[in-house]
Amino acid sequence: MSAPPQTNDAEIRLMGLILAQSALVGFAVGMFDAEMWLNNETPWLNGFTYAMAAFFVQGMAYYLFKMFFEQNMQERVRTSNMERERQHRFRNMQNSFDNRRSEMELRMQEAQLETELRWMEANPGKMPPSWGVQGGSPSMVQQYDMSQMTSVPKHTAEISEPVNLGIAADSPLKKDGTPDKRFKQGE
């Protein structure tokens, strides 16, 4: 099992803090051992001086982290939150449109069924025209199809001769009746 992301992030930050403090303490001990900086005669004064220097360096590191890295991370979080919110709103709008569309389709079907019921009440014993039986008022689909249809051609096609598609009429045929193209004509 893995720990939740918040616990992992906290552990990583704690390890980074321990690493930074260890490096600073090692640096301070190295400087003191090499007698490079502020080597006083009393150990208490030396310890206090190096503690103040370590506090200053850690304070500066914390300030730089806050100034440069945390602001950038907060900007990324803000941007990702805005993107997530935008996607959520878009999904809600899409769901709303889908619901409205399905409601309209249901209303149209209800209106068509109501029209057919009225027709059936007015014409007892007959089949509604939307069921494919002749007679009565056409259904909404048939009305739309008829309104879109222009005139149907009433002339007959005049075909004088079949079109030659490149196969000679006198070419040899195979057993299945298709032209045999293995041999060129004129040989």
- pLDDT, the chain, mean: 76
Torsion sign (Cα): 30, 34, 37, 40: positive
Residue 166 has pLDDT above 90, yes or no: no
Residues in the chain: 187
**Stated pTM of the model:** 0.35
DSSP string, 127-163: --GGGT-SSSPPPHHHHHHHHH--PPP-SPP---SPP
Residue with tokens 């006083």: 40
Q: What is the mean pLDDT of residues 29-36?
A: 76
Report the 10 Å Cβ neighbour count for 42.
8
Query: What is the predicted pLDDT for the residue at 65?
Result: 74
Is residue 28 within 8 Å of residue 53, measured between CB atoms? yes
The predicted structure's pLDDT at residue 87: 95
Instruction: Answer yes or no: are the C-beta atoms of 8 and 15 closer than 8 Å.
Output: no
Distances (CA, A) of 13 to 20, 60, 76, 172: 11, 17, 18, 88
- CA–CA gap between residue 9 and residue 77 (Å, rounded): 15
| Proportion of the chain above pLDDT 70, given as a percent | 72
Is the pLDDT reported for residue 171 higher than 80? no
pLDDT tens-digit series, residues 84-132: 999 999 999 999 999 999 999 999 999 988 888 888 888 887 777 666 6
DSSP string, 68-129: IIIHHHHHHHHHHHHHHHHHHHHHHHHHHHHHHHHHHHHHHHHHHHHHHHHHHHHSTTS--G
Q: What pLDDT, on the 0 to 100 scale, is given for residue 82?
A: 94
What average pLDDT score do residues 145-154 get? 65
| pLDDT at position 108 | 92
